[in-house]
Structure 1
Amino acid sequence: MISKPAKILVIRLSALGDVAMTIPVIHSIAKQHPNVEITFISKPWVKPLFENTGVRFIGADIRKGRKGVIDFFRFFSMLRKMEKWDVVIDLHDVIFSKFLRKLFRLYQVPVVKINKGRQEKKELTQYPKKEFKQLATTFERYVDTLKRAGLPISVEFDTIFPTQTELTPDIVDLLGNKNAKWIGIAPFAQHKGKVYPPEKMEEVVQHFNQKDGVKIILFGGGKAEEAALKVWETKYDNAISVAGKIRLGQELLVMDYLDVMVSMDSANMHLASLTATPVVSIWGATHPYAGFYGWKQPVDNIIQLDLSCRPCSVYGNKECMWGDYRCMNDIKPETIIRKIEEIIYSQE
């Protein structure tokens, strides 16, 4: 074990959900090791996640191609001159972070990298002979990496908003003040194997649009998702899309006001979890056993089907072996509606 470091450099570039999963751990380091100075490297646009963490954030804005090589070496040179690092902690283990590790080693800086459990995850998803069991969560893998770096912690985290923050005027202009049940719906994910069929999710939207005292807030990102949500926003009087209208930090604040978030196995599940908002998560090709479930979310809020082919993928990026994505298509909208109602009306 490396002796307790005073200045640590932590690397986790993407994806947004995985970066969000570092937050409970980072909060715990700052709380339990107050003499340790933490610098975190990630994509520039995720910076709002690290506000109020006591962590110095550095955005790695590296271009692609030949110019990216120049950017990379300039970036490393900046990091090396910035501090005399006691240890570099790689929570990503991709090409970018591997090269950084090699360079830091050349300058005698200790380096510790995450064990992603790739073989275990392969065995979890292989068909027909699966090793079907709960694997270590990503949170646990982060904690293990920190322990090996000389920073043992117990993760103690509830929410990034320990006291309720007032909605900003621009959010109030968009959504109004909260005087109804707010249901968040984030119907998209990066890969098809993680997306509930839009026409079925629209049935959920349609159901709650007819309810009094309910507002539906739609979340998404990118032009295609914005356009799709705009159609629902136009079609349903009680639905409002925030896609492309507010920034990440503002989205987190809106999520803090939600009564429930409906999400795929995607970043929005993790973002809402950071605000301690209940999440109804819908799982298809992937499975919570791979270790990517939302922080402190009750397992009763998981919606999934018990199929022998599940999970077929860790990330949902493989084609369905049957061609029909039955793991998602066979989930009934009524199942999602019942779970939402169970959550929002039990709070009364």
Structure 2
Amino acid sequence: MGDVAMTVPVLSALVHQYPNLRITVLTRTFFAPMFAALPNVKVHEADFKGKHKGFLGLWRLSGELKGKGIDVVADLHNVLRTQILKQFFFFGGIPFYQIDKGRKEKKALTREKNKVFLPLKTTHERYADVFARLGFSLDLSNSIPLHKEKLSNKTIELIDPKTRKWLGIAPFAAFSGKQYPLDSMEDVICQTLKTDRYKIMLFGGGQKEIQFLDTWASTFDQCINVAGELSFKDELALISNLDVMLSMDSGNGHLAAMYGIPVITLWGITHPYAGFAPFGQDARNALLSNRDEYPFIPTSVYGNKCPNGYQDVMRTIPAKMVVKKIESVCFKK
């Protein structure tokens, strides 16, 4: 989800700098609401578990896309499925440009020995490079955030009137090495709510996560679990109305960044140098684990490789530091 969300600011820059372009985004049905507010952008829904499954399904999909009169393809994913689609478009005479993911540089950044600890090109810049190869150079500094969405009646009933700062917290990540310890996050929630200046919305997904967030919501006043309560469209609208989002190196941070919401990110065994920081955010809002104590950071790009002894790297980010950062962002003078 995070990779898909990261395309939105780039497409925003594209459609506003080239208003005569007609863009078709190929993505899963679930992700379609991310693109609804972009002018001249339509979504073609990919059904990889149904009619677009397997080689024949991809052949069918390529035919559907060719039927839309597509002139050129920008592949921002560069995986096996898109490699196959590339061949189908090649035989149809349609140019097909793919992202350079910078695998060699990322390997140098994440290896233990002879690590090259330097900031790499951001993923947003890599997406923009694909469009530049198509002849559409982009100035990402002119990307326009998505507008604030109107809350649904269901959301309003769940959240109640806005009398405090709205703080979104997304405490989970795909891998434990980039997830802030839950006991420390509970401490953050406790300290934050003691100020009586915030209402906290908890974001997550999956039954186990929902059950855990329900426990926090029942323990703390002014703490609401929205996971499993709202549609994805309504969840995006709520995110667009937040004052700040506290996220791991994960998808919810990128969703908030689409709307220009300030995002505070917590980083474990991954690092912003790999190019996956949320778009347009103040670098000071990225709280990093201590590399003096854990010099192998980053150990991987996605957080799936955690060396022995690196399980607790995020405990070097004290809860009081997170609370102080929330306060400084929410009540910036």
* TM-score using structure 2 length: 0.94
Q: Which residue of 2 aligns with 1:24?
A: 9
How far residue 256 of structure 1 moved from its aligned partner, in angstroms, is: 2.2
* 1:335 maps onto 2:312 in alignment: no
- The code of the aligned residue for 1:184 comes to G
Whether the 8 Å contact between 1:208 and 1:216 is mirrored in structure 2 is no
After TM superposition, the structure 1 = structure 2 runs for residues 89-168 of structure 1, keeping only pairs within 5 Å, are 89-155=74-140, 156-161=142-147, 164-168=148-152
Runs of 4 or more consecutive aligned structure 1 residues displaced over 3 Å after TM superposition: 64-70
How far residue 82 of structure 1 moved from its aligned partner, in angstroms, is: 2.8
Distance in 2 of aligned mates of 1:158 and 1:324 = 39
Distance in 1 of aligned mates of 2:319 and 2:179 = 13
| Number of equivalent positions | 328
> Structure 1 regions of 5+ residues with no counterpart?
1-15
Distance in 2 of aligned mates of 1:331 and 1:154 = 34
Whether the 8 Å contact between 2:149 and 2:238 is mirrored in structure 1 is no
Whether the 8 Å contact between 2:47 and 2:53 is mirrored in structure 1 is no
How far residue 150 of structure 1 moved from its aligned partner, in angstroms, is: 1.6
Q: 1:259 to 1:148 in 2, by over 3 A?
A: same
Q: Which residue of 1 aligns with 2:192?
A: 208
Whether the 8 Å contact between 2:217 and 2:224 is mirrored in structure 1 is yes
Match of 2:74, SS state, is strand
* 1:56 maps onto 2:42 in alignment: yes
Q: Deviations over 1:141-177 (max 9, x none)?
A: 111111111221212224201xx44322111100012
Match of 1:29, SS state, is helix
Q: 1:259 to 1:82 in 2, by over 3 A?
A: closer
Q: Which residue of 2 aligns with 1:227?
A: 211
* 1:276 maps onto 2:260 in alignment: yes
Distance in 1 of aligned mates of 2:105 and 2:52 = 36
- The code of the aligned residue for 1:91 comes to L
Whether the 8 Å contact between 1:42 and 1:60 is mirrored in structure 2 is yes
- The code of the aligned residue for 2:28 comes to K
Q: Which residue of 1 aligns with 2:172?
A: 188
How far residue 67 of structure 1 moved from its aligned partner, in angstroms, is: 5.3
How far residue 100 of structure 1 moved from its aligned partner, in angstroms, is: 0.3
Distance in 1 of aligned mates of 2:119 and 2:265 = 17
Q: 1:71 to 1:273 in 2, by over 3 A?
A: same
How far residue 324 of structure 1 moved from its aligned partner, in angstroms, is: 4.3
Match of 2:67, SS state, is helix
Match of 2:224, SS state, is strand
After TM superposition, the structure 1 = structure 2 runs for residues 250-329 of structure 1, keeping only pairs within 5 Å, are 250-307=234-291, 308-318=295-305, 320-329=306-315
Match of 1:47, SS state, is helix
Match of 2:13, SS state, is helix
Match of 2:331, SS state, is helix
Q: Which of 58, 74, 77 pairs up with 2:63? A: 77
How far residue 322 of structure 1 moved from its aligned partner, in angstroms, is: 2.6
Q: Deviations over 1:70-115 (max 9, x none)?
A: 43222222222232x2211111100111100011101111111110
Q: 1:180 to 1:134 in 2, by over 3 A?
A: same
How far residue 286 of structure 1 moved from its aligned partner, in angstroms, is: 0.5
> Structure 2 regions of 5+ residues with no counterpart?
none
Q: 1:68 to 1:218 in 2, by over 3 A?
A: same
- The code of the aligned residue for 2:64 comes to M
Match of 1:120, SS state, is helix
